[in-house]
A = this chain, B = another copy of it.
Amino acid sequence: MVISMSEELGVKTKKSENFNEWYIEVIKKSGIADYSSVSGCMVIKPYAYAIWEKIQSLLNERFRKLGVKNAYFPLLIPERLLKKEEEHVEGFSPEVAWVTIGGSSELEEKLAVRPTSETIMYESFSKWIRSWRDLPLKINQWVNVVRWEFKNPVLFLRTREFLWQEGHTAHATKEDAEKEIEEILEIYREINEEYLALPSVRGKKTEIEKFAGAEYTVSIEHMMPNGKAIQGPDSHHLGQNFSKAFDIKFFDRDEKERYVWQNSWGFATRQLGIMFAVHGDDKGLIIPPRVAPIQVVIVPIYQEENKEVVLNGSRKLYEKLKEKFSVHLDDRDEYTPGFKFNEWELKGVPLRIEIGPRDIERDQVVLVRRDSGDKSSVPISKISNEIENTLDSIQKSLLERAKKHFEEHIEKVEKYEDLERIVNGKWALGGWCGDPACEKKIKDETSAKIITIPFDLNENPPDGHCVVCGKPAKYNVYIAKSY
Q: Which residues of B contact A325 (CB under 8 A)?
A: none
Contact check, A100 vs B98: say whether CB atoms are below 8 A apart: yes
Q: Would you list which residues of chain A between 32 and 87 have a CB under 8 Å from chain B?
A: 34, 36-38, 41-46, 49-50, 52-53, 69-78, 81
Q: How far is the CA of A74 from the CA of B155 in the complex (A)?
A: 13
Chain B residue nearest in CB terms to A95 = B103
Q: How far is the CA of A50 from the CA of B68 in the complex (A)?
A: 12
**B38, B49, B144, B332: which contacts A78 (Cβ < 8 A)?**
B38
Contact check, A124 vs B38: say whether CB atoms are below 8 A apart: no
Contact with B along A83-120 (1 / 0, CB 8 A): 00000000001111111111110000011010000001
Q: Which residues of B contact A36 (CB under 8 A)?
A: 73-74, 120, 123-124
**B6, B75, B100: which contacts A161 (Cβ < 8 A)?**
B75
Number of copies: 2
Q: How far is the CA of A111 from the CA of B74 in the complex (A)?
A: 19
Interface presence of A460 (CB below 8 A): no
A-B contacts besides A53-B70, A95-B103, A97-B102, 14 pairs, CB < 8 Å: A4-B130, A6-B130, A36-B73, A36-B124, A37-B78, A37-B123, A42-B74, A44-B71, A46-B139, A74-B161, A75-B146, A97-B99, A98-B101, A100-B100
Q: Would you list which residues of chain A between 1 and 53 have a CB under 8 Å from chain B?
A: 2, 4, 6, 34, 36-38, 41-46, 49-50, 52-53
Contact check, A104 vs B100: say whether CB atoms are below 8 A apart: no
Interface presence of A259 (CB below 8 A): no
Interface presence of A378 (CB below 8 A): no
Contact with B along A141-172 (1 / 0, CB 8 A): 00110101010000000000101000000000
Interface presence of A191 (CB below 8 A): no
Contact check, B128 vs A77: say whether CB atoms are below 8 A apart: no
**B46, B73, B93: which contacts A69 (Cβ < 8 A)?**
B46
Residues of A within 8 A of B (CB): 2, 4, 6, 34, 36-38, 41-46, 49-50, 52-53, 69-78, 81, 93-104, 110-111, 113, 120, 123-124, 127-131, 133-134, 137, 139, 143-144, 146, 148, 150, 161, 163, 332, 334
Q: Which residues of B contact A76 (CB under 8 A)?
A: 38, 41, 97, 146, 161
**Which residue, of A102, A129, A131, has the highest number of chain B Cβ atoms within 10 A?**
A102
Contact check, A71 vs B45: say whether CB atoms are below 8 A apart: yes
Minimum CB–CB distance from A85 to chain B (whole Å) comes to: 15
Contact check, A49 vs B72: say whether CB atoms are below 8 A apart: yes
Q: Which residues of B contact A34 (CB under 8 A)?
A: 124, 127
Q: How far is the CA of A50 from the CA of B96 in the complex (A)?
A: 30
